[in-house]
Amino acid sequence: MNSKKKAKYIAGIILIIVFLLIIFSTTSGSDSNFINPYKSVSDIAKSPAMYTNKPVQVYGNVVDGTVTWAPNNLNFTMAGGNSSIDVVYYGVIPSTFPLGKQDNKAKINVIAIGTFDGKKVIADKLLVKCPSKYKANLKVSF
């Protein structure tokens, strides 16, 4: 093999090794940043140790009468099945979030995205189902 072909061959091998190192370094630590798929409140309550100090996405319903808020945070309890979990949310309160007393028949569906500390979800994102989805269907006639 002449020296030009040998140099191209070595350069190609070096590029492949660098590419593989970049891929490995960006994916090896990603387990700590991985967010579990959506889990219900009852899933978290059944196995709290499994989710403690890990990122979670928990879905459930806001428990009526548990919502309190201050300028820096929103506190409420979410329920699912026969379980409930407290949530502390830091961020802008979604306009669709019910801050007043809600109709007991209406279930306000929320997804809290954050970290579970073993007792509560410390959320940095909060998704709220559109209010039209939990209002009674009205028949309008003209």
List all residues 6 or more positions away from 101 whose beta carbon is below 8 Å from its beta carbon: 64, 65
What is the rounded distance in angstroms from the CA atom of residue 135 to the CA atom of residue 52?
Answer: 35
pTM for the model: 0.65
For the chain, report the end-to-end CA distance as a whole number of angstroms: 89
Put residue 65 in one of left, alpha, beta given phi > 0 → left and psi -120 to 50 → alpha: left
Instruction: Sketch the domain layout of the chain as residue ranges.
Output: 1-32, 35-133
Around Cβ 77, how many Cβ atoms within 10 Å? 18
Instruction: Give me the tens of pLDDT residue by residue for the chain, a chain 142 residues long.
Output: 688 888 889 999 999 999 888 887 766 554 445 566 889 999 999 999 999 999 999 999 998 888 888 878 899 999 998 999 999 999 888 877 776 655 555 678 899 999 999 999 999 999 988 755 545 554 545 4
Superfamily per CATH, domain 35-133: Nucleic acid-binding proteins (2.40.50.140)
